[in-house]
Amino acid sequence: MILSEIMEMVIDANIVFAAIIKRTKTLELMFEENIRLYAPETILIELEKYQDYLCRKGNMTTEELKSMIFRLKNVITIIYLGELVSQIPEARNICPDPGDIPYFALALKMNIPIWSNDKELKKQKRVKIFTTDELM
């Protein structure tokens, strides 16, 4: 897919996990030159927490996973939670999943959509949610 203009999105951890495990079109899309991806720093905690799971499911060594995460950090801009404090109350009010509040806060701060395959997130109308299929 080649976009004619730059598209900015918050990328949800489930997309990153799928890209690491399956290494398919999702991963290619993440490296598309006209896509700018952002994530709250909590994504780094999630990647660390599920490191063994990702290695097992992705059939890779810890070193291979670390290398892939390093590459992903080059295309995903990490935003620290301290920068999202003023958006947390609104994010908490609209987010269907408490675990995704930092992603919503970031989307609200930057006024950009979220890339997620979590159907629950589409239950609110304030932040646009794109699935991988919709982006393809």
For the stretch 73-125, pLDDT in tens is: 999 999 999 999 999 999 999 999 999 999 999 999 999 999 999 999 998 99
35: containing domain: 7-135
Q: What is the CATH number of the domain that holds 69?
A: 3.40.50.1010
- pTM (two decimals): 0.91
How many Cβ atoms are within 10 Å of 89's Cβ, its own excluded?
A: 10
User: Is residue 2 scored above 80 in pLDDT?
Assistant: no
The two tokens of residue 100 are 């995704």
Instruction: Count the domains in the chain.
Output: 1
Within the chain, strands assigned E span 7-11, 35-40, 76-79, 114-115, 129-130
Has residue 1 been placed in a domain? Answer: no
Has residue 2 been placed in a domain? Answer: no
